[in-house]
């Protein structure tokens, strides 16, 4: 119930406008967000490099319906790519298609994505595409497949909570894709997604095994994006059984969650990457993080009482 309530709050325009005004809310979000500026995200990425942890930078924001705003976001990402190149940081970025104007038409968002991919390719940098709620899955898959035919420097997120995930994954494999496998973060109806966590976990493992087979054949880049320690153990065992070396097994986590495990995986020689989100538009994203682990609410309440 609490998870559903938090996911409802994440999409509520009135609360999105008003809750971030409270200092305790802004203070609590710092756990998951090094700061609102590009500089804060870049300097955290440099710090993580010291622990052999790579970073993927993501400007927060979604559901953009003003074309000028979407174009500003494209400019922001292009400047970010140039800055990463200037500082020779070898970082990746992650974008959301609704941030680049998916609601303003497929051509518009495809052109915007193309601008980012072209520059990233020129600079030899990599661009991930997030997967948003189920109403965007078809368009995101179409756009990714077209983009992947032109550019090798792009990867896509697949959500294991969707019944369709296995079919979608099979449809992507001929494109020699880069796949980030996640459980899924949105409130989806039971007609489209497994309502029970145990079923989502089971499907995640099933899709992971399929991806490991493809990685063993050299036909995909797979990033296992989860903090689930039981699943992390299982993936490492299965990778070893397939003769895949640790550096070919990539894990991704979110900034601020289970840092000790991130360092352990990096020390074992895995490709460990952390998504660092930044920017002022953090409210919906932060509510989804709370929904993933409602116990995090205690942290917010403590901030409310003591800050
Ligand atoms: C790199 C990355 C990219 C992602 N991209 C997308 C995307 O594009 N689209 C999408 O729908 N979802 C995305 N997600 C979110 C994902 O779908 C899950 O909602 C999220 O990762 C939580 O699931 P889990 O796999 O960690 O497993 P869970 O079973 O939810 O969590 C396992 C354990 O991890 C810890 N944990 C998990 N979440 C939190 C939290 N918020 N705070 C504190 N501890 C926590 C807890 O100890 C928990 O017991 C992404 C996640 C990652 C890591």
Catalytically annotated residue among 148, 168, 180, 201 = 180
The reply to whether ligand 1 has any atom less than 6 angstroms from the CB of 7 is: no
**Tokens found for residue 255:** 């900034």
Query: 6-15, 49-58, 109-118: which has the minimum mean pLDDT?
Result: 6-15
pLDDT band at 1 (very low <50, low <70, confident <90, very high): confident
> Is residue 290 one of the residues assigned to a domain?
no
Instruction: Answer yes or no: 23 catalytic.
Output: no
> Is residue 48 one of the residues assigned to a domain?
yes
- Say which residue, 137 or 11, is predicted with more confidence: 137
β-strands 154-159, 54-59: how paired? unpaired
Average pLDDT over residues 30-55: 92
Residue 48 has pLDDT above 90, yes or no: yes
> Is residue 219 one of the residues assigned to a domain?
yes
Which residue among 96, 199, 254 has the greatest number of ligand 1 atoms within 8 angstroms of its CB, and so is best to mutate? Answer: 254
> Is residue 171 one of the residues assigned to a domain?
yes
- Give the pLDDT score at 303: 61
Residue 301 has pLDDT above 90, yes or no: no
Ligand 1 centroid to 293 CA: how many Å? 9
> Is residue 243 one of the residues assigned to a domain?
yes
Domain that residue 81 falls in = 34-281
The reply to whether ligand 1 has any atom less than 6 angstroms from the CB of 279 is: no
What's the total number of domains in the chain? 1
- Give the pLDDT score at 88: 94
Interval 75-85: pLDDT, tens: 999 999 999 99
Average pLDDT over residues 191-197: 97
> Is residue 299 one of the residues assigned to a domain?
no
> Is residue 293 one of the residues assigned to a domain?
no
pLDDT band at 296 (very low <50, low <70, confident <90, very high): confident
Q: What is the pTM of this model?
A: 0.92
Cα–Cα distance for residue pair 296/63, rounded to 1 Å = 25
- Give the pLDDT score at 304: 61
Interval 209-264: pLDDT, tens: 999 999 999 999 999 999 999 999 999 999 999 999 999 999 999 998 999 999 99
Q: What is the DSSP string of 228-282?
A: -HHHHHHHHHHHHHTT--GGG-EEEEETTS-HHHHHHHHHTT-EEEEEEEESS--
- Give the pLDDT score at 305: 63
Instruction: Answer yes or no: 138 catalytic.
Output: no
Cα within 13 Å of Cα(205), Cβ side? 16
127, 94 Cβ separation under 8 angstroms: yes
Name residues whose C-beta falls within 8 Å of residue 47's C-beta, 6 or more positions apart in sequence: none
> Is residue 11 one of the residues assigned to a domain?
no
Nearest-CA residue for atom 38 of ligand 1:
292
CATH number of the domain encompassing residue 194: 3.20.20.220
Residue 90 has pLDDT above 80, yes or no: yes
Helix, strand, coil percent values for the chain (each to nearest 5): 55, 15, 30
Average pLDDT over residues 145-156: 97
The reply to whether ligand 1 has any atom less than 6 angstroms from the CB of 257 is: yes
Long-range contacts formed by 216-220: CB under 8 A, 24+ apart: 216/242, 216/243, 216/244, 219/173, 219/176, 220/173, 220/176, 220/177, 220/178, 220/179
Average pLDDT of the residues of the chain: 92
The reply to whether ligand 1 has any atom less than 6 angstroms from the CB of 131 is: yes
pLDDT band at 299 (very low <50, low <70, confident <90, very high): low
- Say which residue, 294 or 171, is predicted with more confidence: 171
- Say which residue, 122 or 290, is predicted with more confidence: 122
The reply to whether ligand 1 has any atom less than 6 angstroms from the CB of 261 is: no
């Amino acid at each position: 119930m609490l998870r559903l309530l938090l996911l409802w709050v994440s999409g509520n325009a009135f609360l999105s406008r008003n809750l971030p005004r409270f200092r305790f809310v802004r203070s609590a979000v710092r756990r998951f967000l090094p700061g609102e500026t590009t500089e804060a995200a870049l300097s955290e990425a440099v710090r993580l490099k010291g622990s052999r942890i790579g970073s993927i930078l993501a400007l927060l924001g979604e559901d953009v319906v003003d074309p000028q705003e979407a174009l500003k976001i494209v400019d922001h990402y292009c400047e970010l790519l140039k800055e990463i190149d200037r500082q020779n940081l070898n970082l990746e970025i992650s974008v959301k298609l609704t941030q680049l104007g998916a609601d303003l038409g497929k051509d518009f968002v495809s052109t915007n994505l193309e601008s980012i991919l072209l520059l990233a390719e020129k600079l030899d940098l990599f661009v991930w595409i997030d997967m948003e709620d189920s109403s965007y899955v078809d368009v995101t898959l179409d756009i990714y497949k077209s983009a992947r035919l032109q550019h090798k420097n792009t990867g896509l997120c697949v959500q294991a909570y969707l019944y369709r995930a296995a079919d979608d994954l099979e449809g992507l494999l001929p494109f020699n894709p880069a796949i980030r496998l996640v459980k899924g973060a949105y409130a989806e109806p039971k007609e489209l997604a497994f309502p029970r966590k145990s079923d989502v976990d089971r499907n995640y493992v099933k899709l992971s095994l399929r991806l490991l087979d493809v990685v063993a054949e050299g036909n995909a880049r797979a990033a296992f994006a989860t903090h689930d320690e039981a699943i992390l153990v299982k993936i490492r065992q299965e990778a070893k059984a397939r003769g895949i070396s640790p550096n070919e097994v990539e894990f991704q986590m979110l900034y601020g969650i289970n840092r000790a495990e991130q360092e352990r995986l990096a020390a074992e020689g895995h490709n460990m990457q952390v998504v660092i989100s930044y920017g002022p538009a953090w409210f919906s994203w932060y509510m989804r993080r709370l929904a993933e682990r409602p116990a995090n609410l205690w942290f917010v309440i403590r901030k409310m009482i003591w800050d």
